[in-house]
Each structure stands twice: as structure tokens, then as C-alpha cells.
Homo-oligomer: A and B are copies of this chain.
Amino acid sequence: MRLSEESRSLALETGVQLHAEGSCLVRLGNTHVLCSASLEDRVPEWMRGRGKGWITSEYGMLPRATHTRSAREAAKGRQQGRTVEIQRLIGRSLRQAVDLAALGEVQLTLDCDVVNADGGTRCASITGAWVALALALKARGLERALINQVAAVSVGILEGCPGLRQGLILDLEYEEDHRAAVDCNLVASLPTGGASELSVVEFQSTGEGRSFSRTEATALLDLGLKGCAALMEAQRKAVALG
């Protein structure tokens, strides 16, 4: 088991979906997610005529992304609650990356499909979807609409691990996540314009086995911000904004 305050190794391979305006295969340790950004020149009906764009997301798992095969949601005829919750989070997070008014009446759909799952799939999806989104905007000459960089990481408290400072751990693998007493996801943003400090887009912290103190909450937040800063460097290289 990796015990540290660093995230797992990250690889971002672009151009993997040939038809997509932008795509990226994220490999974060053994968590692999295929992200694509599809750009269409129309927005949902409830947004028409406002001159603004929209960003939405859909998330899925290949049936054998997991240790044992999971039922295919298309075959079951409905998406699980967990799926819906995750795709709402991805959509909400990535809307912070873009000036929707600068997009014009354009919709971007971010599809995140998990090929291999080993913890942190929603955070890896956000990190990869930002790359796909940035590439799609470039491909269509819409870079000016990209106002923030967005990345996400998980962070938690693992009890009974002497090697961890206050039990804090960044970027949990499946086994670690399973045993964690407190489990958080942090989505952070950074203006694309230049040097600046990261701020918080979304911070979700949940006591799984126990509740946690105000002090622990802030320590988790701080570690997550540090983790996101590192992921953002890799993102910039992948889209050659670096």
C-alpha cells in the first residue's frame, strides 16, 4: 500500500477517440478513464435564444472495469444513483472552467467512461475531462472561453497507519478508500490567465465510519489543494499550454 501525500502516477494520452473534438485517456495508477468532449452547435431547449453555451457530462463504467463484473446500465435500463451523482458533479465542475457567454450557443458533452477502476474514478474523470474540453475548444478556435483550469483529487483519513501524518492520505486507491474513516473529493480551479492561487470549486467531505472535527476538515482541504496543483501541471503539458 502506498502511504503518502502524493498522488499516484498520472499519464494523459490525447486523441484516443478519433471522431471527438477532444479526447483524453487518463491513467492515474490503475484507474483508467476515457474522456471525450463532443461539441454541438445547439443548446438544450431551455437555454435557447440566450446566446450562451452549456456544458454537461455523462459517466459510465465498462462492465469489467471492476474486480467482479458489474451489470451494464444500458441492459438494466436505468442508471444507478451513484452514476447520476457523479455525472452531475463532473458537469457542475467543468462549467466553472468556461465562460459560457463567450462560447455562444454551443453545447459541450463530456463523456467519461471508466476502463479500469481502482478508486478515485470521479476525480480522474474531472481531471481528464478538462483536458478533452480544452482540446475541443482549441480545435474550434474557442480558447478564449476557457477561463479556468479545473482538476480534482480525493483525500481521506485512514486510521491505524503509523506512517500517515494525522492519518491523512491523498488520492486513495480502492482498498484505501474502502477502509477510510473520512472520505473527501476536492475540485479546485486556477485562472488560465497566469500565476495565481488555487481556489475551491467543490469540497465534499463525508464521515464514513465516524464524524470529524473542524481541524481535520481544514487539514483535508489543504492537502487536496496541494494535490490538485500537481495534477494541473500535467494537464497543462497535455494540452500544451504549459
Chain A residues proximal to chain B, CB less than 8 Å: 16-20, 23, 30, 34, 36, 38, 40, 58, 60, 62-69, 72-75, 77-79, 81-85, 87-88, 92, 96, 109, 111, 113, 115-116, 118, 148, 188-189, 197, 199-207, 211-214, 217-218, 221-222, 225
| Complex Cα spacing A84 to B17, Å | 24
Subset of 9 A-B contacts with CB under 8 Å: A19-B67, A62-B111, A63-B111, A69-B111, A72-B111, A74-B74, A96-B207, A189-B207, A200-B211
A207 near B214: Cβ-Cβ < 8 Å: no
Q: Of B17, B18, B64, B200, which contacts A17 at CB under 8 A?
A: B64
B75 near A79: Cβ-Cβ < 8 Å: yes
Residues of B with C-beta under 8 A to A64 = 17, 19-20, 23, 36, 38, 111
B63 near A58: Cβ-Cβ < 8 Å: yes
Quick one: copies of this chain in the complex?
6
B217 near A203: Cβ-Cβ < 8 Å: yes
Q: How far is the CB of A38 from chain B (nearest CB, A)?
A: 4
